[in-house]
A = this chain, B = another copy of it.
Amino acid sequence: MGKNNVPKYVYYFGGKHADGKGDMKNLLGGKGAGLAEMTNLGIPVPPGFTITTEVCTAFYEHDRKWPEGLEEEIRENLTRLEEEMGAKFADPVNPLLLSVRSGARVSMPGMMDTVLNLGLNDTTAQGLIKRSGNPRFVYDSYRRFVHMYSDVVLEVPHEAFEEAIAAKKAARGVKLDMDLTADDLKELVEEYKDIARKHTGKEFPEDPWEQLRGSINAVFSSWNNQRAITYRKINGIPGDWGTAVNVQTMVFGNMGETSGTGVAFTRDPATGENVFYGEYLMNAQGEDVVAGIRTPHPISDLKAAMPEIYAELEQIYLTLERHYKDMQDIEFTIQDGRLFMLQTRTGKRTGTAAVRIAVELVEEGLIDKKTAVLRVPPAQLDQLLHPMIDAKAKTNVIAKGLPASPGAAVGRVVFTAAAAEEWNSRGEKVVLARTETSPEDIGGMHAAAGILTSRGGMTSHAAVVARGMGTCCVAGCGSLIISEKDKKITCGDLTISEGDWITLNGSTGEVILGQVPLVEPELTGNFGKMMEWADEFRALNIRTNADTPQDAKQARVFGAEGIGLCRTEHMFFAEDRIRAMREMILSDTEEQRRAALAKLLPYQKGDFMGIFREMDGLPVTIRLLDPPLHEFLPSLDQTKQIEELASDMGIHVQKVRDSIGALHELNPMLGFRGCRLGVVFSEIYEMQTKAIFEAACELVREGVNVMPEVMIPLVGTTGEIEMIREYVVRVADETIEEYGVDLDYMVGTMIEVPRAALVADKIAESAEFFSFGTNDMTQMVFGYSRDDAGKFLGEFIDRNVLKHDPFQSLDQEGVGQMVAMGVERGRSTRPNLKIGVCGEHGGDPDSVEFFHEVGLDYVSCSPYRVPIARLAAAQAEIKQPRK
């Protein structure tokens, strides 16, 4: 509160003391708080004052008028500023110039407006020329001001000014703004004013006070420009926060060769290395660095060029880093040999840098482990786990799809799974390009270094499987026409044929022509330390989704504490197995089905033994067959396959066709799959159960610690789980008795059908564990087919109808309610119910935090997401400890 209990509207900073402090971001905005804090630290900051965010709110509440008393406070602070600077605003002899900048609570880069060099008019310009003896500098500043003010305050389209300066340079035969003379610039000032006059119908304002009022109002107004509104919506920033306005003494990097401006990071934001990193430009204002017309120098050059300034800057950055205990992103201006700091804020960084900086700050004693763990955005870890495109390489990006599975891959293009396997067996690195993939492509997907599809979303088959395998994938790249038939990719005029080299960046979705050098990941060192600390804090267990011993092994390397989802259907697609599977499907009687299943049993048993062995001592959740049976049959247009199948089985081709037709479904996602198969054809699940327990029992005899958890998919009613549980337990117990071993196991269910969450209390009576299948649950709660939603989900997010893709990050408002309900109701009848999640969301940090909050025991995600989940779980526990 200011005097007389009216709110204090304006906070002064200068003379080594500020009214505000660094923790007053809500009131002063990020920039204002940073300027106040630097002032208090004794760092040279051009003095000025901050008009608070509350004024912005009041401005909007009162029809865009200033609250009473604001003008008076501004005048008081301006007087204080004039006294400190020994110059006067609007003074013809010794004029004080100002910058006016926005500054919200959180950085909204480029979204709001700025006016520099404010206070110039024809009179003050003359005063400044006399005092500085530098007419070129003054007219350069003046033309910048007229341009910027016209653009920002008067809303004159900026193209007109750019055309005017371009014409001037052409007329003078020069290339750079720098090469224009004082006279050229003086002429430009007049030309600019003409442009403004023509557009507004009024004279350009000469009165500095009018300029100041206009600029302050323009900054407030820019809080609600369309750009800023959209940015806030996307980033979830409330519209009533408002922006502060920073009015600051103008310092000039464009006063000549002893002046300049620069930006720097206190550590390398790409690698995290503890070196001072940045660039600067002499005789320039900040905007010139951004414009990229001249090439800036690396900050290290400043050491030689201006050793004293560099030493001072070094002292300041070290002070700031120690003060903020984090890497800072700073802006500075050198005015005629004197250093001024214009901004400090926490610097953005890569995942690699985030880990290294956090770990080294702990080692330097600046922060503790908890803080370090909170410092790394978990999703950034992804960058550390995959080969990456060398940041220094030049790339020829020809198309951009969805970043479906991170990492990078270089390979020669092939168009069929068979070709991928064949080329791979010859030692070739390949990228498998398909319109979309299907379960039959699994072999080829395994063989490929990267996968590219022209159709399908972030949770399409290709994307899900690729993430599961940790293989780089760019999905749904709609601008490519991939023709499997012609073995070529068409991209505009460009054609890529079989065998051509391409590079995929699965972290950005870029498709790059040719071979680009890659950098390999390192999992020890800083990364290892960070993971170790995360594990010290977290409450959630982290499991993995793995279908093969290889995946299981990889996941253990990444720290998985069990398998939360082992799908059994992928096991049926191999050449030697698919035949028996098809025989089973085409059988007419239970007897025939049992005979065919008997052929599959040894394969399944072998698969399970491999996985159990890898996961010795850790629980393994095995999901019984889930997909609809037609996925295992050829499609009706695969005439040759159908004929072979008929001939193999000794039945008529038409019978095969009829069976395929009969199994066809309009909405297979909602069809005859999951436990519905187990109800109608109990012999399938019985075989799988037998295979699981024979495998487990044999290993128990060998001394392996096997912890099987049998999971029944797609349960929606108590009838289903009661019926299936009954025979699973029977077969399991019979098998264990047969082998005469001791073996504990669990039988539980997926909770993915919405109805299952609604009746979770009843289902829990027959289930020892729940595993939320939030992929399918999202499909059903939203009514979105993940295979088809790509047609509109992008539009929905663009139009802000959806905040994010609910297949990537759990929809906590809707689907989250079902999860919370399932947990609460499930535990109401079985308090010790073990509960996990095995959808894609298990590896999404926001979702992991939610799962922690609703009390899950574990999350399960693809192997490459395990470290991310470990870190996210640690952060969740630190933020909201479980009692």
Contacts and interface: CB of A to CB of B under 8 A. Distances in A.
Interface in A778-834: 779-785, 787-789, 791-792, 795-796, 799-802, 811, 813-815, 817-818
Which of A670, A782, A789 has most chain B Cβ within 10 Å? A670
A138 interface: no
Nearest to A796: B679
Given A679-B792, A719-B800, A670 B783 contact: yes
Nearest to A800: B719
A666 B758 contact: no
Contacts of A680: 792, 795
Given A665-B785, A723-B801, A785-B666, A791 B672 contact: yes
A492 to B, nearest CB: 17
Which of A667, A672, A680, A781 has most chain B Cβ within 10 Å? A667
A782 B801 contact: no
A779 B779 CA distance: 12
A717 interface: yes
Which of A668, A814, A818 has most chain B Cβ within 10 Å? A814
Contacts of A753: 781-783
A253 interface: no
Nearest to A720: B801
A666 B800 CA distance: 26
A783 B776 contact: yes
A668 B813 CA distance: 25
Nearest to A714: B783
Nearest to A779: B670
A755 B781 contact: yes
Interface in A718-732: 719-720, 723
A411 interface: no
A867 interface: no
A119 interface: no
A160 to B, nearest CB: 31
A755 B776 contact: no
A754 interface: yes
Contacts of A667: 667-670, 785, 787-788
Interface string A680-720: 10000000000000000000000000000000001011011
Nearest to A753: B783
A455 B755 CA distance: 27
Contact of A668 (B723, B758, B788): B788
A230 to B, nearest CB: 14
A676 interface: yes
Contact of A785 (B670, B795, B801, B817): B670
B671 A669 contact: no
A598 interface: no
Contacts of A669: 666-667, 670, 783, 785
A578 interface: no
B719 A802 contact: yes
Given A723-B799, A758-B817, A801-B723, A666 B787 contact: yes
Interface string A639-683: 000000000000000000000000001111111100010011000
A759 interface: yes
Contacts of A671: 785, 788-789, 791
A802 B759 CA distance: 14
A670 to B, nearest CB: 4
Contacts of A754: 754, 780-781, 783, 814, 818
Contact of A758 (B752, B755, B818): B818
Contacts of A787: 665-667
Nearest to A667: B785
A320 to B, nearest CB: 42
A79 to B, nearest CB: 49
A328 B183 CA distance: 116
A716 B672 CA distance: 25
B801 A672 contact: no
A788 B674 CA distance: 14
Nearest to A663: B791
A316 to B, nearest CB: 46
Complex A-B, nearest 10 residue pairs according to Cβ-Cβ distance, in ascending order: A719-B801, A670-B785, A667-B785, A755-B814, A671-B788, A666-B787, A665-B788, A753-B783, A667-B669, A667-B667
Given A670-B670, A758-B817, A780-B780, 15 more contacts: A665-B791, A666-B785, A670-B788, A671-B789, A672-B791, A676-B792, A676-B796, A716-B783, A717-B801, A723-B799, A753-B782, A755-B781, A758-B818, A759-B813, A780-B783
25 contacts: A665-B788, A665-B791, A666-B788, A667-B668, A667-B669, A667-B670, A669-B670, A671-B789, A672-B789, A672-B791, A679-B795, A680-B792, A716-B782, A716-B783, A716-B814, A717-B802, A717-B814, A719-B801, A754-B754, A755-B782, A755-B783, A755-B811, A755-B815, A758-B814, A780-B783
Interface of A: 665-672, 676, 679-680, 714, 716-717, 719-720, 723, 752-755, 758-759, 776, 779-785, 787-789, 791-792, 795-796, 799-802, 811, 813-815, 817-818
